[in-house]
């Protein structure tokens, strides 16, 4: 049995953190679904910046849409929706078979809106309506303004992938925003079954912390933070508060591990897959990580109730000068800035391609 299927059998969903038009055209994504137990997909501005900027796969569509008078964000979202609705259709049988628990794809609102709740709410509703797919999440960052937009979007019936979460506190804030949105729907007599996931970024902790920690603590902090968040997730699902909402028909907001590609070349390339194996979670991984895990990964339930272990390790890191709350805030800020930079580069690439194609050349 493939290790990906073994993880799936342990109760963890495996998603692919990538999308390109060639993956759709040549059957690669369909093969991942069929052969490797991949049950969902995530995207972000950096992924699209690489997909569009580093290939000619989108040139024909860019030239055609530019000729129609489209440009900038409007042109990009048409390209992204074309890809992601095709991906959503590939995952639709999984979505239907699991009653909406699995089989999702994700599209992010403009990262330039990370601190603008009102415009994020409007953008999320617009993209959700345009996609017209029940299994497409709109990604909204877990910034303070994003939390307002998450609650409002859930209340409006928009499925949300909460992105850029970096700590237990970040996760709980996102979960509470989701619960408030569900409670408002119940109070209004609306269906409380609105999908959501909370995406906790893991490897970026170690990229930052390894610079100051002793070697024996390297590449351990991210997993410790994840363990604390997972324990909080399990406690929330066991709470009377959640059980009341579940009895009314609500689905849980699932915890998703993001940023699970190993950045340190001296560490195992399957580190954040093997060490984050846990039931009722999702691991979305880059293709390189997926293929490495298929080749030599080992599937075993690793987290269990390891929150206490995570707490102890975090305390060790604190002694060595890592303030997890301050670092979580910094990582969220830097993550938002990095996505905004990728977004600007993406739009510049589209504009450059459109200009060259309009002049009759090649992009």
What mean pLDDT is predicted for residues 41-52? 95
Residue 305: its pLDDT value, please? 47
Q: What percent of the chain has pLDDT over 70?
A: 97
**DSSP string computed for 299-329:** -----TTTHHHHHHHHHHHHHTT--HHHHHH
- DSSP, res 143: S
* Residue ranges of domains in the chain, CATH in brackets: 3-358 (3.20.20.70)
Residue 358: its pLDDT value, please? 75
15 forms beta bridges with 40, 284
What mean pLDDT is predicted for residues 41-62? 94
* pLDDT above 70: residue 24: yes
CA distance linking residue 51 with residue 29, whole number of Å = 15
What mean pLDDT is predicted for residues 316-341? 96
Report the catalytic residues: 139
- Banded pLDDT at 362 (limits 50, 70, 90): low
What mean pLDDT is predicted for residues 209-232? 96
pTM of the entire predicted model: 0.95
Pairing relationship of beta strands 13-17 and 105-108 according to DSSP bridges: unpaired
Contact 13, 40 (CB under 8 A): yes
What mean pLDDT is predicted for residues 22-51? 97
* pLDDT above 70: residue 167: yes
Q: What percent of the chain has pLDDT over 90?
A: 93
* pLDDT above 60: residue 307: no
* pLDDT above 70: residue 251: yes
């Amino acid at each position: 049995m493939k290790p990906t299927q073994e993880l799936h059998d342990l109760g963890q969903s495996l998603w692919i953190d990538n999308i390109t038009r060639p993956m759709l055209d040549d059957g690669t994504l369909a093969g991942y679904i069929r052969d490797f137990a991949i049950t969902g997909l995530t995207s972000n501005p950096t992924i699209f910046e690489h997909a569009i900027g580093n290939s000619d796969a989108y040139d024909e569509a860019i030239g055609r849409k530019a000729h129609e008078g489209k440009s900038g964000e409007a042109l990009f979202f048409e390209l992204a929706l074309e890809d992601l609705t095709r991906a959503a259709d590939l995952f639709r049988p999984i979505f239907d078979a699991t009653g909406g628990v699995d089989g999702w794809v994700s599209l992010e609102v403009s990262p330039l809106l990370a601190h603008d709740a009102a415009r994020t709410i409007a953008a999320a509703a617009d993209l959700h309506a345009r996609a017209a797919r029940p299994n497409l999440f709109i990604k909204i960052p877990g910034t303070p303004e994003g939390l307002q937009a998450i609650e409002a979007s859930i209340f409006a019936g928009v499925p949300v992938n909460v992105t850029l979460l970096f700590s237990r506190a970040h996760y709980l804030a996102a979960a509470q925003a989701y619960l408030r949105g569900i409670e408002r729907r119940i109070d209004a007599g609306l269906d409380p079954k609105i999908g959501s996931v909370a995406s906790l970024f893991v490897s970026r902790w170690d990229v930052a912390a390894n610079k100051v920690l002793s070697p024996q603590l390297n590449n351990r902090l991210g997993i410790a933070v994840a363990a604390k968040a997972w324990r909080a997730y399990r406690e929330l699902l066991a709470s009377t508060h959640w059980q009341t909402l579940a009895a009314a028909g609500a689905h849980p907001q699932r915890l998703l591990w993001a940023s699970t590609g190993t950045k340190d070349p001296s560490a195992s390339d399957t580190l954040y897959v093997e060490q984050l194996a846990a039931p009722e979670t999702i691991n979305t991984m880059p293709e390189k990580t997926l293929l490495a895990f298929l080749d030599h990964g080992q599937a075993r339930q690793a987290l269990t109730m390891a929150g206490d272990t995570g707490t102890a390790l975090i305390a060790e890191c604190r002694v060595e000068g890592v303030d997890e709350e301050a670092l979580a805030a910094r990582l969220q800020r830097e993550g938002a800035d990095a996505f905004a930079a990728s977004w600007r580069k993406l739009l510049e690439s589209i504009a450059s391609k459109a200009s060259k194609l309009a002049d009759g050349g090649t992009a």
